Amino acid sequence: MGLAVSTSSQARITGAQTEATATAARGRSSGWPALAALIVVCCLFAAAYSVAAPAFEAPDEPGHYNYVDRLVSGQGLPLQGVNGQDPEFGQPPFYYAFESLIARLAPSQPDNVPVWDHHNPFQDRTDYGNVNLYYHRAEEAFPWTGTMLRLHAMRLANLVFLLLAVLATYGSARELRLPPALSWCAAAILGLIPQVLFISGVLNADNAIAGLSAAALYLLLRWLNHGSPWTETVLLGLVLGNAALAKLSGLSAVALAVGFMGLRWLQGRQLRALLQAGAVGVMVLCIAGWWYARNWILLGDPLGWEPMLAAVGQMLRPQPIGLLPALAQLFGRTSTALAVFGWTNVPVSPIAYFTFDALCLLGLAAAAVAAARQLMRRSLPQLAGSPAVLCHLLVLLWPVAFILSLARWIEVNAAADQWRLVLPAFPALTLLIVIGLQRLVRRWQALLVLPLGLVGLNVGALLLVLVPAYAFPAPYKGPIEHQAQVRFGDALELVGYSTPSPTGIHPGDTVSVDLVWRALRPMDLDYLVDLAAIDSHGVITWKELSTPDEGRAPTSQWTPGLTVRDRHRLIVQPPASGVHTLLLSIFVPVEGGPHLPAVGASDTPLANDTTEVGRFMLLPPRTTSPSVSDSLPFADNLTLAGHSFTQDGKSLRATLVWQARGPIGKDYTVFVHLLGPDDKLAAQHDSQPDGARYPTSLLPTGQLVPDTHVLDVSSLSPGRYQAEVGVYDLASGQRLPLASNPDETSHLFPVEIG
């Protein structure tokens, strides 16, 4: 099974040949400084994520904090279903006991971590933004005090587990006979994955199981390779016992260790190996057995599975899904293995995910091919008698065990498809990917592109994604396109707003509008912005209730005189094509709360306490080509692209198609006059295009829009008539001339009435 089995085949296995040997020799003297530098970089990034991520804006962090707080306050271990229904209360206690040691050294006052009274009810419920679960207050900011200092101290304590994972990955690579340079690459890739660093920067029990499992993998590989002395056997027992006490998935590491130690004993039938395997099992029982026994006695379930399911709440599936659908769901969310921040709702660029997935698949496929070739070259006795084969088999099965374990949880929990829950599998997966990619590129230096790329991704993720996702907006000092001066109550003034951009969109596109607010006085409440899109018939086609700036700027944190830019991005879906007017009002944040009274610049009350903040147009999905093409240009960039006339009994339907050659300055009204043989007006219909659905000032350049006019011809005699088509400004009554002839303001088309 070996991808690297013996000294004689090492050059072929690593693909580095002579260069690999030289690199290995140099690595004995220079490997540790490079590894130390890597650890420093990883820790700095993890600390940066800890600072950038606001309190409790990470998966399950409030529950982890409450667990530690119970221990620190002397309430003892929580019991799921007895001390509440927090999903984290069913977790084994190792991580929380560790963090409680840190928490006891930090202050507990003032109590300034976020509380549920300040949660954001619109999280993930709007088209954009609102990724924050909490409204964050000024007292949470650096320099930290009280419980915020305690939280950040506990977060930074995770660096112990990050350090353990990086070192153990390096050590595991060396146990697989990889040269130091390649081992460093494997450790660097693991330690620089943004998701690993983000989780390392927040309060989460996945850190403990990740570090302990990585250490267990390394110690188990050493045991399989060398028949470790009792000192290392004791270390393995300690690590596995604490892994089983850190998270239920730690039992997977215990099962793998027991199985492979048994296989190693079968290879040599040595009493020493059997005694060491037994000693490890006894240590696991002594360290972690009491917790499972406690669950069995108090809950009737050693794993606490049923009470944990009850605590899952809305995440619990009505009916469990099968193993294969669960695996498909997990592998459909590989983005969470690379970089998805917050409550798995702050992604990075899709290009990063595509590149990451492609490299991982390529590396794993190459490793699988290499393993298959080694299998074919060796006889069964050779495979059965080789400790190196067991080592490589362990690395292959290690991620499988953890992934299958998580799939069981995904079967019943709709929100469990997150790769952070299989962080213990990352060291083995990284080793396989590195081995596979190195066999493809041959030169280990080419693999340096991966850690360097991850460094760049971390910098970009921190500065361009994570920090802006939660940042309270800076005071706005830029231009204001449309002055408004509308006051809502005595606290808020809408200073102005921008033109919705773009003014013409297709279904599914995004239109943005910026509102500019000024705080008139301090506010105790977090007022809600109610923004709605109304079509030309007065029907609401889109509506959003939210906190200013997509959840980032709760009004209780505004100071008098502060000017805030409040961006809203909306997606309007068909069949609501045509013009939409944005209407704005402000609501009090209580159940069924009223809206604030609104007055204009002259203290005139506004109807329904609502003001208009711009228009945009949802363009038709497709405009049918007219039966006759015209390309008749009017002034101000408006063109009549074509027309058709059809009679339906007592009605004449004129279908016009308009096109903008460029920006159009006004909303023009179209007239269709039917002139009789004596040139007298026989029928007419005037309206903005298509019943005012497509105002001309909103037409984007090149866009075709339909325009239907229906004329009553029930009283007309059959015969030949002329349809006069033109446009005019309704406010002034002035017609728009033709661009080709300023003396003409309309065009005549022959029409037969029968």
Question: What is the end-to-end Cα distance of the chain in Å, rounded?
Answer: 88
Is residue 22 predicted with pLDDT exceeding 50? Answer: no
For the chain, what percent of residues have pLDDT higher than 90?
A: 74
The pLDDT value given to residue 623: 64
| CA 641 to chain CA mean position, Å | 44
- The closest alpha carbon to 517, from 551, 559, 545, belongs to 559
Q: What is the pLDDT of residues 48-105, one digit of tens each?
A: 999 999 999 999 999 999 999 999 999 999 988 777 778 888 899 999 999 999 999 9
Torsion on CA atoms 198, 200, 204, 208, rounded to nearest 10: 150
Strands 638-648 vs 628-633: parallel, antiparallel or unpaired? antiparallel
H/E stretch holding 235 reads helix 230-244
Concatenating the DSSP letter of every residue in 148-192 gives HHHHHHHHHTTHHHHHHHHHHHHHHHHHTT--HHHHHHHHHHHHH
The pLDDT value given to residue 381: 54
Q: Find where tokens 């939409």 sit.
A: 580
CB atoms closer than 10 angstroms to residue 466 = 27
Is residue 211 predicted with pLDDT exceeding 90? Answer: yes
Q: How many CA atoms lie within 13 A of 694 on its CB side?
A: 24
Average pLDDT over residues 598-607: 90
Q: Which residues pair with 705 in a beta bridge?
A: 658
- The closest alpha carbon to 436, from 217, 176, 180, 218, belongs to 176
- The closest alpha carbon to 36, from 213, 200, 184, 192, belongs to 184
The b-or-e profile of 24-38 (16+ CB within 10 A means b, else e) is beebeeebeebbeeb
CA angle 656, 662, 668 (to 5 degrees): 50
Amino acid at the residue 456? G
Q: Give pTM, 2 decimals.
A: 0.88
Do residues 154 and 98 make contact, with C-beta atoms less than 8 angstroms apart?
no
What is the rounded distance in angstroms from the CA atom of residue 515 to the CA atom of residue 487? Answer: 13
The pLDDT value given to residue 313: 77
The pLDDT value given to residue 380: 52
Q: How many CA atoms lie within 13 A of 744 on its CB side?
A: 12
Is residue 136 predicted with pLDDT exceeding 50? Answer: yes
What is the rounded distance in angstroms from the CA atom of residue 64 to the CA atom of residue 77? Answer: 13
**Which two structure tokens, joined as six digits, stand for 316?**
């619990």
The pLDDT value given to residue 153: 97
Q: What is the pLDDT of residues 460-513, one digit of tens each?
A: 999 999 999 999 999 999 999 999 999 999 999 999 999 999 988 888 899 999
- Non-local CB neighbours of 74 within 8 Å, separated by 6+ positions: none
Q: Which residues pair with 683 in a beta bridge?
A: 674
CB atoms closer than 10 angstroms to residue 355 = 15
pLDDT bucket at 304, cuts 50 / 70 / 90: confident
The pLDDT value given to residue 3: 43
CA angle 311, 316, 317 (to 5 degrees): 165
Is residue 383 predicted with pLDDT exceeding 70? Answer: no
Average pLDDT over residues 128-138: 95
| CA 655 to chain CA mean position, Å | 46
Is residue 8 predicted with pLDDT exceeding 60? Answer: no
CA distances from 111 to 150, 153, 398, 402 (A): 10, 15, 42, 38
User: Which long-range contacts link 231-235 to residues 24+ away (Cβ below 8 Å)?
Assistant: 233/276, 233/279, 233/280, 234/279, 234/283
Least confident of 56-60, 300-304, 427-431, 710-714: 300-304
Is residue 547 predicted with pLDDT exceeding 50? Answer: yes
**What is the fold of 482-618?**
Coagulation Factor XIII; Chain A, domain 1 (2.70.50)
Q: What is the mean pLDDT of the chain?
A: 90
- Non-local CB neighbours of 326 within 8 Å, separated by 6+ positions: 407, 408, 410, 411
Asked whether the CA dihedral 175, 179, 184, 187 is positive or negative, the reply is negative
Assess whether the previous peptide bond of 320 is cis (omega < 30° from 0). no
Q: Where in the chain is the domain with CATH 2.60.40.2550?
A: 628-753
CB atoms closer than 10 angstroms to residue 248 = 18
Amino acid at the residue 665? G
The one-character DSSP state at 735 is B
Is residue 274 predicted with pLDDT exceeding 90? Answer: no
Q: What is the pLDDT of residues 630-687, one digit of tens each?
A: 989 999 999 999 999 999 888 999 999 999 999 999 999 999 999 998 889 999 999 9
- The closest alpha carbon to 23, from 5, 11, 13, 41, belongs to 11
What is the rounded distance in angstroms from the CA atom of residue 394 to the CA atom of residue 754? Answer: 88
Do residues 529 and 644 make contact, with C-beta atoms less than 8 angstroms apart?
no
pLDDT bucket at 624, cuts 50 / 70 / 90: low
Q: What is the pLDDT of residues 697-715, one digit of tens each?
A: 999 998 889 999 999 999 8
The pLDDT value given to residue 379: 54
- Non-local CB neighbours of 249 within 8 Å, separated by 6+ positions: 209, 213, 402, 405, 406, 421, 422, 424
Is residue 375 predicted with pLDDT exceeding 80? Answer: no
Burial of 142: CB neighbours in 10 Å, binned 0-12, 13-18, 19+: exposed
**Which two structure tokens, joined as six digits, stand for 590?**
């209580």
Do residues 213 and 243 make contact, with C-beta atoms less than 8 angstroms apart?
yes
Amino acid at the residue 565? R
Torsion on CA atoms 282, 287, 293, 299, rounded to nearest 10: -150
Task: Provide the phi-psi class of 556: left if phi over 0, else alpha when psi is between -120 and 50, else beta.
Answer: alpha
SS3 541: strand
What is the rounded distance in angstroms from the CA atom of residue 247 to the CA atom of residue 259? Answer: 20
The one-character DSSP state at 91 is S
**Which two structure tokens, joined as six digits, stand for 101?**
């040691």
CA angle 481, 571, 509 (to 5 degrees): 85
What is the rounded distance in angstroms from the CA atom of residue 551 to the CA atom of residue 29? Answer: 53
What is the rounded distance in angstroms from the CA atom of residue 418 to the CA atom of residue 423? Answer: 10
What is the rounded distance in angstroms from the CA atom of residue 554 to the CA atom of residue 134? Answer: 10
Assess whether the previous peptide bond of 143 is cis (omega < 30° from 0). yes
Q: Find where tokens 């509440």 sit.
A: 84
For the chain, what percent of residues have pLDDT higher than 70?
A: 94
Amino acid at the residue 158? N
Q: Where in the chain is the domain with CATH 2.70.50.60?
A: 482-618
The pLDDT value given to residue 384: 53
Assess whether the previous peptide bond of 110 is cis (omega < 30° from 0). yes
pLDDT bucket at 444, cuts 50 / 70 / 90: confident
Q: Find where tokens 């991850």 sit.
A: 454
**Which two structure tokens, joined as six digits, stand for 34?**
């490079």
Q: What are phi and psi of 557, to 5 degrees?
A: -100, 5
The pLDDT value given to residue 385: 56
**Which two structure tokens, joined as six digits, stand for 450?**
């991966």
Is residue 23 predicted with pLDDT exceeding 50? Answer: no
Class of domain 628-753: mainly beta
Do residues 609 and 487 make contact, with C-beta atoms less than 8 angstroms apart?
no
Do residues 665 and 588 make contact, with C-beta atoms less than 8 angstroms apart?
no
Concatenating the DSSP letter of every residue in 591-653 gives TTPPBPPEE-TTSPBPGGG-EEEEEEEE--S--PPPSEEEEEEBSTTEEEEEEEEEEETTEEE
Concatenating the DSSP letter of every residue in 285-338 gives HHHHHHHHHHHHHHHS-TT-HHHHHHHHGGGB-SS---HHHHHHHHHTTTHHHH
- The closest alpha carbon to 517, from 467, 580, 473, 470, belongs to 473
